[in-house]
Amino acid sequence: MSWFNKHKDLPEFYKTYLNAFEEDIQNIESVRFVVFDTETTGLNFKSDRILSIGTVAILNFQIDISDNFECFIKQETFNPETVEIHGILKEGSLSKISEEESIKLFLGHIKNAVLVAHHAAFDIAMINEALKRLDLPKLKNQVIDTGKLHKKTKYINDSKSYSLDELCRIFNITMHDRHTASGDAYLTAILFLKLTAKLKLKHKRLRLKHFFSWF
Partner 1 sequence: MKNTIAERILDFLKGFPPFESLSRDQLLIISKQVKVSYFEKNSTVFKQQEALHDCFYVVKDGAIGIYRDQTLVDQCDEGDIFGLRAIIRKDQYLLHAIATEESIVYGIPATLIEDVLNTNIKANRFIIASFATNTRNPYSDEDKGTLFATETILQPNTSSFTEVQSASFSKNPITCKPKTTIQDAALIMSSNKVGSIIIAENHKPLGIITDKDLRNKIATGTHLIAEPVSAIMSSPVITFPDSITVAEAQIAMLKHEISHLCITKDGTIHSDLVGILSEHDIIVIHGNNPSVLIKEIKRALTAEQLRHIREKAQYLLQNYIEQSIPITFISNIISAINDAITKRCIRLSTKELELEPPTTFTWLAIGSQGRKEQLLLTDQDNALVYEDTTDNTDAKSYFLKLSEAVNQKLNTVGFELCPAKMMASNPKWCLSVSEWKSQFRTWITHPNTDKIMLCTIFFDYDYVYGNHNLVNEMSDSIFNAIDSYEIFLNFLGKNALTNPPPLSFFRNFLVEDSGDHKDQFDIKARAMMPLVDAARLLILSHKIKDVNNTINRYKKLCELEPQNSDLYESCIQAFRVLLRFRTQHGLKSNTSGRYIAIDRLSKSDRLKLKSSFKPIKDIQELIRIRFKLSQMM
Number of residues that bind partner 1 (CB under 8 A): 27
DSSP 69-93: EEEEB--SS--GGGHHHH---TT-S
Sign of CA dihedral 175, 125, 112, 31: positive
Among 33, 40, 54, 110, binds partner 1 (CB under 8 A): 54
How far apart (Å, rounded) are the C-alpha atoms in residues 144 and 36? 11
| 93 contributes a contact to partner 1 by CB under 8 A | no
Among residue numbers 147 through 206, which ones bind partner 1 (CB under 8 A)?
Answer: 172, 174, 176-177, 180, 182-183, 185-186, 189-190, 193-194, 197
| 68 contributes a contact to partner 1 by CB under 8 A | yes
| 101 contributes a contact to partner 1 by CB under 8 A | no
| 70 contributes a contact to partner 1 by CB under 8 A | yes
User: Between 21 and 50, how does the x/- string for binding to partner 1 read (CB under 8 A)?
Assistant: ------------------------------
| Contact window for partner 1 (CB under 8 A) among 36-44, 60-68, 113-121, 126-134 | 60-68
Between the alpha carbon of residue 109 and those of residues 18, 34, 77, 112, 161, the distances in Å are 13, 9, 26, 9, 29
E strand map for 45-155: 50-59, 62-72, 114-117, 143-145
Residues contributing to the site for partner 1 (CB under 8 A): 54, 56, 61-66, 68-71, 94, 172, 174, 176-177, 180, 182-183, 185-186, 189-190, 193-194, 197
